[in-house]
Amino acid sequence: MKGWSFNQALECWCIEDVVYTEKADVPQAQRLSVFVPKAYLSETGEIAKSGACGIYTAQNAPVIFENNAAGYMEMTNTHPGEERFFGAPYLAQGMVYVTCGCRGRSSKNAQGEYVGKAPMTLVDFKTAIRFLRHNRATLPGDWSKLVSVGFSAGGAMSALLAVTGDHPDYDPYLRANGAYMEESDAVYAAQIYCPIIDLEHADMAYEWQFGADPENETSYAGPAETMTPFKKTVSQRLRRMYVEYVNRLGLIHPQTGEKLELGEDGRSGAFYEMTMRRLGDAARLCGELPPTNLDDDVLHRRRRMKACTAFDRLDEQSGENELFGNSVQNTAHFSLSVAKAVQSVAEEFPEEAAALADGWAHCGDEAFQKRLRLLNPLAYIRDARGKKAAHYRIRVGADDADTAFSVSMTLAVMLQNANLGTVDDALVWRQPHCEADVPGQIQDWIHHIFEGQGA
């Protein structure tokens, strides 16, 4: 970590495009950059111990670790001036900012093998954090307390970093990736924007929320289409299965202590009411009328974006299908719930079901289930091993239809039920799929959780 340069516009020192592992398969993506407020380094690149910026010093400044994961794709770290560079407001308030790239679902090594399938994106970020900590003597900021930030697939990564810190499940992957095994990859806090998580159950959630809408937009994974009778039936099965899934989770209302369940119709019960309250709270905060009914909301305000099935697509054409391929096979089915829904309509739609019959055979394998788990933060919340973050902040746009609202709500409730720390969860009215937030609020939250350590 040598060779600081100065960025005039941001008034910060930067060290850019550093490859974070000697075993990089894709060195153009496995890179990171660090940006440091001007006051924290001397002209010669030494840490200016008494340097202060905002309410922080070179020794106690929060370090923001922003992962640039998107779409579970291979991504580079970002650069000042680029659309996805979010460093400026953090730096202005005295925080150190890191942007980190990763391998993704279509990454290939020099031999042409896929090397970025699940869970490699997460393994890369853990490797990067360990690399930075290994170099902490040369870096200003409090490296014992990282704040992870990311959105969408990056929000999933941020949630995962928060609940899987130093978990032994990742050790073999980290070792193979050239990570410093004696360093920690645990984070202190996580900002989680519109996380695309719980992928193996997300299709049920999606049809539960959007099932009333037979048409999707041209989406991330495919063209606009109208549901065929077969897909409509599959959608209804998934919706019904979601009720069972939610009721099996054992969620408890964090305030009232009542069981958070869904009624058989999927449109009653405390879980449904909480979904509507969360949506209504976002509307009310902007002086608007709260939606009163989820199906109305879907048909008249925020319609279905993705076709049925949204994540584990029947044609294996989603990004997630590509994520769960392997070194030689680009795509794969991954959701036993989708398999079950398809199978359950076989009598009514024998041809369609028969054509899909063998697609999910590998999903029951122990090794495959293990891989799914490695990328599902919900699976680690109740796991006592590893280090958990102490603070979680979840924000999702109320105009976001990339996944069901209940997916992030379930994450928030599970975190609260597990008593891991503070959880600040909200939908943000009129915000799409993005870093949905009110400007300045994330920095205020960080000040708050670092309270008492500022100057």
Question: Per the omega criterion (within 30 degrees of 0), is the bond before 119 cis?
Answer: yes
Q: Which of 70, 374, 389, 394 binds ligand DHB (CB under 6 A)?
A: 70
Integer Cα distance of 223 and 215 in angstroms: 11
Residues 341-370 that bind ligand DHB (CB under 6 A): none
Query: How many residues bind to ligand DHB according to rule CB under 6 A?
Result: 9
Half-sphere exposure (Cβ direction) of 268: Cα atoms closer than 13 Å: 3
Integer Cα distance of 86 and 82 in angstroms: 9
Residues 144-163 that bind ligand DHB (CB under 6 A): 152-153
State in angstroms the smallest separation of the CB of 250 from ligand DHB.
27
**Residue 175 neighbours by CB distance under 10 Å:** 11
Integer Cα distance of 335 and 234 in angstroms: 13
Residues 20-39 that bind ligand DHB (CB under 6 A): none
One character per residue 242-281, x = contact with ligand DHB (rule: CB under 6 A): ----------------------------------------
| Binding span for ligand DHB by CB under 6 A among 67-75, 119-127, 247-255, 330-338 | 67-75
Q: Are 321 and 332 in contact (CB under 8 A)?
A: yes
State in angstroms the smallest separation of the CB of 105 from ligand DHB.
10
Integer Cα distance of 221 and 228 in angstroms: 18
| Residue where the block lists tokens 């130093």 | 166
Instruction: Indicate the residue whose CB is closest to ligand DHB.
Output: 152
> Which residue in 90, 99, 112, 97 sits closest to 26, CA to CA?
112
Q: Which is nearer to ligand DHB, 116 or 319 (CB)?
A: 319
Residue 40 dihedral angles phi and psi, to the nearest 5°: -90, -10
- For residue 287, what is the DSSP state? T
Q: Is 220 in the site for ligand DHB (CB under 6 A)?
A: yes
Q: Are 124 and 51 in contact (CB under 8 A)?
A: no
| Binding span for ligand DHB by CB under 6 A among 69-77, 98-106, 347-355, 418-426 | 69-77
State in angstroms the smallest separation of the CB of 137 from ligand DHB.
34
Q: Which is nearer to ligand DHB, 52 or 75 (CB)?
A: 75
Q: Which is nearer to ligand DHB, 297 or 320 (CB)?
A: 320
Strands 422-428 vs 5-7: parallel, antiparallel or unpaired = unpaired
> Which residue in 156, 135, 116 sits closest to 32, CA to CA?
135
State in angstroms the smallest separation of the CB of 70 from ligand DHB.
4
Tokens of 360: 């999910």
- For residue 3, what is the DSSP state? -
State in angstroms the smallest separation of the CB of 121 from ligand DHB.
10
Residue 279: C-alpha distances to residues 304, 375, 393, 412, 414 (Å): 16, 27, 17, 14, 18
Q: Which is nearer to ligand DHB, 123 or 283 (CB)?
A: 123
Tokens of 422: 């503070």
Q: Which is nearer to ligand DHB, 53 or 428 (CB)?
A: 428
State in angstroms the smallest separation of the CB of 174 from ligand DHB.
23
Question: Per the omega criterion (within 30 degrees of 0), is the bond before 309 cis?
Answer: yes
Provide the residue count of the chain. 455
Q: Is 319 in the site for ligand DHB (CB under 6 A)?
A: yes
| Binding span for ligand DHB by CB under 6 A among 64-72, 209-217, 268-276, 346-354 | 64-72
| Binding span for ligand DHB by CB under 6 A among 65-73, 104-112, 162-170, 254-262 | 65-73
Residue ranges that bind ligand DHB, judged by CB under 6 A: 70-72, 152-153, 196, 220, 319, 402
